[in-house]
Structure 1
Amino acid sequence: MENKRTCLYDKHVKQGALISPFGGFDMPIQYSTIIDEHQAVRTDCGVFDVSHMGEVTVKGADAERYVQHIFTNDVSKIDAGQILYGMMLYDNGGTVDDLLVYKMAENDFLLVINAANIDKDWEWMQKQSEGFNIELLNRSEDYGQIAVQGPNAETVVEEVLGIACKELTFYTVKTIGDVIVSRTGYTGEDGFEIYASHNYICDCWDKLMESGRCKPCGLGCRDTLRFEVGLPLYGDELSADISPVMAGLSMFCKLDKEEFVGKNALVDQKTNGVAQKLVGIELEGKAIPRHGYTVLKDGEPVGEVTTGYHSISTDKSVCMALVKAEYGKLGTPLEVQIRKKTFPGVVVKKRFYDKHYKK
């Protein structure tokens, strides 16, 4: 089956981007270098094509009750214009997907899901909708989306795109006509997401490129940026086999809610513990731990790397890894096998970088 293309695909090709398959789409991985693009977002402003993400709307008399049923976080506690992060789960606590839920108005929600999971999520959501008085629509084909990220993102969105966004606080959303503007980000920096028609998004991209005030960024640095601040990627740090409790994301699962799919499994995991947990590991030296590499304790395998890099912002070799829970305490010495050698490391917090970091 051929990969899909976003509305900005031709522009990426024209700009000389390295294109590669991701989540069923042909997506730009980098334009210049991953390091340049990463640093642009950390210090100035970068723009990403994230039109591959999925959008599902839930409206109707039972919309809030339905979202409460499928979502681990508690949307009854937020007002219109606010956003929550959380997960959709299988009955056994495994993760269907992690997502953002935008409360657009009373009983009117926008769910933003991962590109690779659109078809699977949509099928699962439809199955869960039985008995609810809602209108559930898959709007993924209708929206283009860009993410403007970095310390100067607010100024660029205001001045280059002419979109008033200053009043948006972190994890809030507003609409301007048919355009949806939110302030969340997936990079550890300030950032805005703009959802609109394909034509409008193409026009925004052109204005941003012509301004010279932000760098086009590919999915390569999107991964290095999210990883450094401990944000999960579905398929690596969350999956059908990795629950939010195992991933250390219990804070986004409100177990005091009356019910949601997978709640009983999470209660059991919180009560009785889990066999594996996600940890951060910092290695000695500059060897790079990659996804799938074995983690060892005194030469015995105890887990594997989910994501690893030589961190661009901290100049350290670090990884997230799923290990046996008994080896998950901060300060625990572990090793990572990289090709034929093993390299010593230590368990650290998964947030490897924050704004106050000094090399």
Structure 2
Amino acid sequence: MSNAALRSTPLEETHRALGATFTDFAGWSMPVRYGSDLAEHRAVRESAGVFDLSHMGEIHLRGPETGAALDYALAGKLSGIGVGRAKYSLILAEDGGVIDDVIVYRLAEDHFLVVANAANAEVDHEELRARARGFDCEVANESTATALVAVQGPASAAIVTDALAADGALQGITAQDVADLKYYRVLEGTFAGAPLLLARTGYTGEDGFELYVPAEHATALWDLLVRAGGDRLTPCGLACRDTLRLEAGMPLYGHELGRDLLPAQSGMGRIVALAAKEEFVGRAGIEASDPSGKPVLVGLVADGRRAARADSAVRDSDGREIGRVSSGALSPTLGHPIAMAFVDPACAEEGTEVVIDVRGKDLPARIVPLPFYSRS
């Protein structure tokens, strides 16, 4: 039985029928795996995986001044992106710390969709509402009414194309549209007569698509994709999503991003549009801060099979603690331990030899550039 204290996605019964193991993730009952983490990870790297991401937040902003409102609310210049395009951005606190990282889609000249992390959806909604005051812009949290299903992996385009041709339920998007769709672009169509968004975005380091439909259509969409995918498509849980994003060097809020971290520390300084726009929330904090002496994010690799976990200490060759691991795992693709860590900038040079404390035992490692893995 599901925990009454946890929220469930519209696909929970589907996951239970598939034998999923569940975990509490940001207050949601979510499938962490269906069988083998390793098999699910490899499926995404070699063919394709299907994910339920309906716990994510969907916040719509509509009105003639929405572009200006988002320029003020977020770190990037959102008014400059074209209709049908997406942009990664940050919601900053007044002091320059990161409240959340988000994807913003421009669906029309006066309509934007902000996709928030599950743990921050309510906070992001309130922040956007507050920051939109004074602009001709309405903000609506449509998270509970929206389902998000992702297909990720080298076979994802073929699977989505086959789903389009399967039974006529998907309308308004053609196979050629999918073939022509570039990364960080979005198409609008219908599924069973309801609105559908098809975005070429993802969080795995592979080609992939994210499909947004009303929550009541989630099961039918999942089933259609699974039928179209056949042996090419594997249901995947949050465990492999985490190792996939770690290999790709993608930050996770609460690990590589947070209110106590400036964007520059996480390698996100380029996201902050200091030169491209004037006033925005967090600008004064960024300009008043000096990140030069603060810990910076680096990649670490090691030999063997022992993997560092979040908050493991990182020491230099003299035994001095110089930082902490933010995320770590044994890489299924590369076959050796990898980690991201925040370390003293004086010790962050590529090739520097360090030691990670893995449950009381030393693990020699070296600093490498991110990402650890890039698709060919």
Range class of TM-score, shorter chain: over 0.9
Provide the residue aligned with 2:184 in structure 1.
171
Equivalent of 2:358, from 313, 338, 349? 338
Provide the residue aligned with 1:279 in structure 2.
298
TM-score norm. by structure 1 comes to 0.95
Q: Is 1:203 equivalent to 2:216 in the alignment?
A: no
Equivalent of 1:219, from 238, 258, 268? 238
Provide the residue aligned with 2:326 in structure 1.
306
Distance in 2 (alpha carbons) for counterparts of 1:280 and 1:42: 20
Distance in 1 (alpha carbons) for counterparts of 2:159 and 2:127: 38
TM-score norm. by structure 2 comes to 0.91
Amino acid across the alignment from 1:331 = G
Task: Specify the SS of the correspondent of 2:158.
Answer: helix
Q: Offset of 1:201 from its aligned partner?
A: 2.1
Amino acid across the alignment from 1:131 = G
Tell me the percent identity. Answer: 37
CA 1:200 to 1:274, structure 2 compared with 1: closer, same or farther past 3 Å?
Answer: farther
Provide the residue aligned with 2:205 in structure 1.
188
Matches within 5 A, 1:49-128: 49-128=52-131
Q: Is 1:326 equivalent to 2:346 in the alignment?
A: yes
Q: Offset of 1:86 from its aligned partner?
A: 1.2
Amino acid across the alignment from 1:8 = L
Distance in 2 (alpha carbons) for counterparts of 1:113 and 1:122: 9
Distance in 1 (alpha carbons) for counterparts of 2:287 and 2:300: 27
Q: Offset of 1:268 from its aligned partner?
A: 4.3
Task: Specify the SS of the correspondent of 1:101.
Answer: strand
Q: Offset of 1:161 from its aligned partner?
A: 4.1
Amino acid across the alignment from 2:233 = C
Equivalent of 1:6, from 1, 6, 9? 9
Q: Offset of 1:327 from its aligned partner?
A: 1.4
Matches within 5 A, 1:283-302: 283-297=302-316, 298-302=318-322
CA 1:55 to 1:132, structure 2 compared with 1: closer, same or farther past 3 Å?
Answer: same
The answer (yes or no) to whether the contact 2:295–2:343 under 8 Å persists in 1 is yes
Q: CA-to-partner distance for each residue in 1:303-347, whole Å, 9 max, x for gaps?
A: 111100111111121100111221112112211101121121111
Structure 2 residue ranges without an equivalent (≥5): none
Distance in 1 (alpha carbons) for counterparts of 2:280 and 2:181: 30
Deviates more, 1:48-57 or 1:315-324: 315-324
Distance in 2 (alpha carbons) for counterparts of 1:274 and 1:168: 42
Distance in 2 (alpha carbons) for counterparts of 1:291 and 1:161: 41
Q: Offset of 1:348 from its aligned partner?
A: 0.7
Matches within 5 A, 1:122-141: 122-141=125-144
Amino acid across the alignment from 1:174 = L
Amino acid across the alignment from 1:187 = T
The alignment covers a number of residue pairs equal to: 355
Q: Offset of 1:209 from its aligned partner?
A: 2.8
Q: Offset of 1:166 from its aligned partner?
A: 2.1
CA RMSD in angstroms, aligned pairs only: 1.5
Amino acid across the alignment from 1:169 = K
Q: Offset of 1:226 from its aligned partner?
A: 0.6
The answer (yes or no) to whether the contact 1:161–1:204 under 8 Å persists in 2 is no
The answer (yes or no) to whether the contact 2:144–2:215 under 8 Å persists in 1 is no
